[in-house]
Amino acid sequence: MKALGFRFWALGFGLWALGVGSSGLGVVSAQVNMPDPALIHGKAIPAGELPAGTVTVRVVREAIGNNVAGQLVTVKSGATTREAKTDDQGRANFDNLQAGVEARAEATVNGEALVSDPFTPPSSGGLRVILVAGIKDAAARKQQEDAASAAAPPVKGVVVFNPNSRVMLEFRDDALQIFYVLEILNNARARVDIGGPLILDLPSGAAGASILEGSSPSATVSGDRVTVTGPFAAGVTPVQVGFTLPYTSSSVTMEQKWPAAMEQLTVAMQKIVTASMSSAQFSTVGEVKAGDGTAYWLGSGPALPAGAMLTVELKDLPAHSQTPRIVALTAAGIVVLTGIWLAFGARSKEQDAARRLIARRDALLAQLTEIEERRRTATGPPVNEARRQKLIAELEQIYGELDEEGAGPQGGGEGVAA
């Protein structure tokens, strides 16, 4: 889940970076709040709009916008050390750094040594690095403020989803994965009682919902309902939810009713094949990239009031035949029924183990057959090669265990696995 959390942050950082970029998204992107400075300190983010070999190092104090001007910054690249001072925006520019050579940015602000993570300039485009001073002081001050707020009685009020909240849609293992990266904002200085928990009912058909790492402990999920209990502390309560939205056709309509006002509408869908998304509530749609290079379609729109229904149309999705899946489920059902019948007979532990291996083998073969069919016909979503190799490796292990048990492969399965 850590890599997933980084992708959430990286996309937010990418949107902010586009505030000085192109694609007609500058105004939209500038409205997206920056994440916790402690998460972005020292990180290098690809910047395709910069010339090759260019690295900009921005120095701020505690938060984005508190720029440190006239600050000496050092970049060490291999055996070379270069220095530059920050401008009024807190940026120091380094041109013509050698591509492929590991480098590091350093600065000392009021006696505090700031060092970036190692980064390697790419052969195409540049990098943006940010160094944040005073993180520990800001954290200690916030801890004191939180303690004082927790000791005071809550007041009646409302909360909103702040502009950094966003919806992300990705395609994984032939399924549509949806992630809500939400920040519930309490603008009051004291804890707020909204009259009960904040309840978010996920779209119809949502399956496998779970609360992701990095969320507030007050957030729980049961079925397709997310509950966040109050009172809500001053500032932000983070909630990250992931779920699957099954589909069987190339067009899907996703509807989500928001229990609190959403200050900025942001929906990002992984760019794949010819898939597209649209909504009457979008004012702009364009392309952005997350920090790991993943391309997304970004739809953005104005604020939504509490109780508003967000409707997003997804078209030309990578639909695939359900026949292999149905065959696999049928085979699995037969195996389960057979296992129940055999459980009433006298069978040895070795025979039971062999049956379990055969059942697992049949299910894996069904999945592998589906993938191989897509590779052969070049239809449907791109094949996850790592998943394919994992299936083959597990099948080989099962065949080895079956050989030891004396069951051996049946029905020519070995040829399929190869």
| DSSP characters over 284-348 | EEEEEE-TTS-EEEEEEE--B-TTPEEEEEEES-----SHHHHHHHHHHHHHHHHHHHHHTS---
Q: Which pLDDT score, from 0 to 100, does residue 139 have?
A: 83
| Banded pLDDT at 29 (limits 50, 70, 90) | very low
Q: Which pLDDT score, from 0 to 100, does residue 312 have?
A: 96
Q: Which pLDDT score, from 0 to 100, does residue 31 have?
A: 40
Please give the average per-residue pLDDT across 25-49, as a whole number. Answer: 67
Judgement on whether residues 169 and 297 belong to the same structural domain of the protein: yes
Judgement on whether residues 282 and 362 belong to the same structural domain of the protein: no
Q: Which pLDDT score, from 0 to 100, does residue 3 have?
A: 45
CA distances from 372 to 3, 380, 386, 394, 396 (A): 29, 12, 13, 16, 16
Judgement on whether residues 128 and 173 belong to the same structural domain of the protein: no
Q: Which residue do the tokens 């035949």 mark?
A: 321
Q: Which residue do the tokens 């998460």 mark?
A: 39
- 278 found inside a domain: yes
Q: Which pLDDT score, from 0 to 100, does residue 140 have?
A: 87
Closest CA to 413 of 357, 343, 374: 357
Lookup: tokens for 86 = 């920050």
- The residue ranking higher by pLDDT, 282 or 147, is 282
Residues of the chain with pLDDT > 90, as a percent, come to 49
Does the pLDDT at position 261 exceed 60? Answer: yes
- 379 found inside a domain: yes
Does the pLDDT at position 194 exceed 60? Answer: yes
- 374 found inside a domain: yes
- The residue ranking higher by pLDDT, 186 or 411, is 186
Judgement on whether residues 329 and 264 belong to the same structural domain of the protein: no
**Tens-place pLDDT, residues 54-108:** 999 999 999 888 999 999 999 999 999 999 999 999 999 999 999 999 999 999 9
Report yes or no: 275 and 315 within 8 Å, Cβ to Cβ.
Answer: yes
Q: What is the CATH classification number for the domain harbouring 208?
A: 2.60.40
Half-sphere exposure of 250 (CA within 13 A, CB side): 12
Q: What is the CATH classification number for the domain harbouring 99?
A: 2.60.40.10
Judgement on whether residues 223 and 336 belong to the same structural domain of the protein: no
Judgement on whether residues 335 and 381 belong to the same structural domain of the protein: yes
Please state, rounded to an integer, the average pLDDT across all residues of the chain: 81
Does the pLDDT at position 418 exceed 60? Answer: no
Q: Which pLDDT score, from 0 to 100, does residue 250 have?
A: 86
Does the pLDDT at position 367 exceed 70? Answer: yes
- 304 found inside a domain: yes
Does the pLDDT at position 4 exceed 70? Answer: no
Q: Which pLDDT score, from 0 to 100, does residue 325 have?
A: 55
Max Cα separation, the chain?
83
| Banded pLDDT at 180 (limits 50, 70, 90) | very high
Judgement on whether residues 355 and 383 belong to the same structural domain of the protein: yes
**Tens-place pLDDT, residues 104-157:** 999 999 999 999 999 999 999 999 999 999 999 888 887 887 777 777 889 999
Please give the average per-residue pLDDT across 190-200, as a whole number. Answer: 95
The domain boundary residue, chosen from 123, 138, 153: 138
Closest CA to 252 of 200, 304, 206, 308: 206
Does the pLDDT at position 409 exceed 70? Answer: no
Closest CA to 370 of 339, 412, 325, 414: 325
Helix, strand, coil % over all residues of the chain, rounded to 5: 30, 35, 40
- 15 found inside a domain: no
The domain boundary residue, chosen from 315, 347, 378: 315
Specify the number of domains making up the chain. 3
Please give the average per-residue pLDDT across 374-386, as a whole number. Answer: 70
Does the pLDDT at position 355 exceed 80? Answer: no
Judgement on whether residues 170 and 307 belong to the same structural domain of the protein: yes
The domain boundary residue, chosen from 262, 283, 315: 315
Report yes or no: 124 and 208 within 8 Å, Cβ to Cβ.
Answer: no
Does the pLDDT at position 414 exceed 60? Answer: no
Report yes or no: 232 and 274 within 8 Å, Cβ to Cβ.
Answer: no
Judgement on whether residues 264 and 190 belong to the same structural domain of the protein: yes
Please give the average per-residue pLDDT across 366-385, as a whole number. Answer: 73
| Banded pLDDT at 320 (limits 50, 70, 90) | low
Secondary element (H or E) of residue 172: strand 166-172
Q: Which pLDDT score, from 0 to 100, does residue 376 have?
A: 73
Separation CA 110–CA 282 (nearest Å): 45
Taking only Cα atoms into account, the Rg of the chain, rounded to an integer number of angstroms, comes to 26
- The residue ranking higher by pLDDT, 352 or 239, is 239
Judgement on whether residues 187 and 102 belong to the same structural domain of the protein: no
**Tens-place pLDDT, residues 210-228:** 999 889 999 999 999 999 9
Domain residues for 408? 323-417
- 395 found inside a domain: yes
- 171 found inside a domain: yes
Separation CA 192–CA 173 (nearest Å): 41
Does the pLDDT at position 388 exceed 90? Answer: no
Judgement on whether residues 304 and 333 belong to the same structural domain of the protein: no
Q: Which pLDDT score, from 0 to 100, does residue 5 have?
A: 47
| Banded pLDDT at 11 (limits 50, 70, 90) | low
Judgement on whether residues 166 and 304 belong to the same structural domain of the protein: yes
Residues of the chain with pLDDT > 70, as a percent, come to 77
Separation CA 318–CA 272 (nearest Å): 8
- 7 found inside a domain: no
